C-alpha cells in the first residue's frame, strides 16, 4: 500500500502560515513584505513559473513584483538592476529567474544578489551556511526552495525519527536540488549517497534507499524494481512528454505506477514537490523580510 504525499495540502499549510506572518509584518511596518522577480527574455516555461510565483505571492499577502527585461539585456544592465534592488530598502527578496540567455552568466548574477535578499538560497554565502550549520533552521536560513519543500514534506510524513539513521539516496547533484537536498538529509542524520550520471549500477544503489529522492530530469527513469519495499520516494522531476493529442503531459523522474505498491509514500507529479517549491519561496521571503527589519 503506497500513500501519496499531497503537495497541494502541504503547500497550502506553508502558504497559510506565511500569510499570517506577512499580514503581521505589514501591520507592524506599514508595508507588505516584497519579492521582486527578474525575468529576462521570453522563455515560455520561465514565464509560466514567474506568473505562478507572482500570483501566489499576492494570495499570501506578499507584494510580488515582476521586472521584465529584454532577451538582449547586457551583463552590465542586469547587474545594475540587481544593484538597484539590493539598495532598495523596500525590497526584501530578489529572485533572478534561471536559466538566463547564453550571453549572461547565471552564477555571476546570483553572486551579485545581496545574501540577505537571496530568497532562492543560491548565493555562496547562504550555500556555505547550509553546509556548515550544526542545525537546520528554515526560520533563520535561506535554504533552496525545492530541497526545503521536499524536506518539510518528509518531516511531516515520517518525522525526524523517520529520517535518523536511514539510508538516503539522492539521484542528481545539481546545485539547486541534488546537493542541497543531500545536505539537508545529512543534517537530519540520514546516511546519504549522491548518485549521478556516472554512478555504476544505479538501480542497485537506489534499491538500498529507505529515502529515495529523484532529481534527474529524465522522464520515469526510476523504475519500480529500483525501489526498496517500503521506501519513501520524493520525485522532484518535472518532464513534459508528448501525447497523441499534441498537448503533452507532465511526468516525474519516477515511474509512479510501478512504484505504487512498493514505496510506502511517494510524491505525485504533478501535485507534489513543485507545489512546495513556490510555497517555500514565499516562506523564504517572509524570513528575509523579518530578518532585515530586525537588522
Annotated binding site: 172-174, 238
For 15, the grid coordinates are 502558504
Interior angle at CA 54, CA 82 and CA 130, nearest 5: 60
Directed axis angle between helix 44-59 and helix 7-29, to 10°? 60
Question: How far is C-alpha 163 from the geometric centre of its chain's CA atoms?
Answer: 20
Answer yes or no: 107 catalytic: no
Answer yes or no: 229 catalytic: no
Strands of the 34-40 sheet, one edge to the other: 63-69, 34-40, 93-96
Nearer to ligand NDP, 91 or 183 (CB): 183
- Is residue 13 a contact residue for ligand NDP (CB under 6 A)? no
For 230, the grid coordinates are 517500503
Q: Are strands 34-40 and 63-69 parallel, antiparallel or unpaired?
A: parallel
Binding mask 209-248 for ligand NDP (x = CB under 6 A): ------xxxx-----------------xxxx---------
Closest to 283 measured CA to CA, from 126, 138, 121, 91: 138
Binding mask 260-279 for ligand NDP (x = CB under 6 A): -------------xx--x--
To ligand NDP, the closest distance from the beta carbon of 9 in angstroms equals: 16
To ligand NDP, the closest distance from the beta carbon of 53 in angstroms equals: 11
Answer yes or no: 120 catalytic: yes
Nearer to ligand NDP, 46 or 174 (CB): 174
Which of 32, 63, 92, 97 is the catalytic position? 97
To ligand NDP, the closest distance from the beta carbon of 93 in angstroms equals: 17
Nearer to ligand NDP, 236 or 259 (CB): 236
Which of 32, 53, 166, 179 is the catalytic position? 53
Directed axis angle between helix 273-294 and helix 145-158, to 10°? 110
Catalytic residues: 53, 97, 120
Amino acid at each position: 500500500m503506497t500513500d501519496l504525499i499531497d503537495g497541494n495540502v502541504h503547500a497550502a499549510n506553508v502558504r497559510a502560515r506565511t500569510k499570517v506572518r506577512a499580514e503581521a509584518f505589514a501591520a507592524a511596518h506599514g508595508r507588505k513584505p516584497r519579492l521582486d522577480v527578474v525575468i529576462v527574455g521570453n522563455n515560455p516555461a520561465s514565464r509560466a513559473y514567474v506568473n505562478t510565483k507572482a500570483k501566489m505571492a499576492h494570495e499570501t499577502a506578499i507584494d510580488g513584483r515582476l521586472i521584465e527585461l529584454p532577451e538582449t539585456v547586457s551583463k552590465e544592465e542586469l547587474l545594475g538592476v540587481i544593484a538597484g534592488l539590493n539598495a532598495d530598502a523596500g525590497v526584501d527578496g530578489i529572485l533572478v529567474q534561471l536559466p538566463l540567455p547564453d550571453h549572461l552568466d547565471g552564477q555571476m548574477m546570483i553572486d551579485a544578489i545581496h545574501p540577505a535578499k537571496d530568497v532562492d538560497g543560491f548565493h555562496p554565502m547562504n550555500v556555505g551556511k547550509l553546509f556548515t550549520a550544526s542545525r537546520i533552521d528554515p526560520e533563520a536560513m535561506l535554504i533552496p526552495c525545492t530541497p526545503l519543500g521536499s524536506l518539510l514534506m518528509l518531516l511531516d510524513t515520517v518525522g525526524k525519527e523517520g529520517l535518523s539513521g536511514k539510508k538516503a539516496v539522492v539521484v542528481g547533484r545539481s546545485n539547486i536540488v541534488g546537493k542541497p537536498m543531500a545536505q539537508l538529509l545529512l543534517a537530519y542524520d540520514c546516511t546519504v549517497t549522491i548518485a549521478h550520471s556516472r554512478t555504476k549500477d544505479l538501480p542497485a544503489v537506489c534499491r538500498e534507499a529507505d529515502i529515495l529522492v529523484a532529481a534527474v530530469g529524465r522522464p520515469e527513469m526510476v523504475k519500480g524494481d529500483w525501489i526498496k519495499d517500503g521506501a519513501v520516494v520524493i520525485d522532484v522531476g518535472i518532464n513534459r512528454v508528448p501525447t497523441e493529442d499534441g498537448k503533452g503531459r507532465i511526468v516525474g523522474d519516477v515511474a509512479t505506477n510501478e512504484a505504487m505498491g512498493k514505496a510506502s509514500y511517494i510524491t505525485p507529479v504533478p501535485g507534489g514537490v513543485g507545489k512546495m517549491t513556490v510555497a517555500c519561496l514565499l516562506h523564504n521571503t517572509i524570513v528575509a523580510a523579518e530578518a532585515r527589519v530586525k537588522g
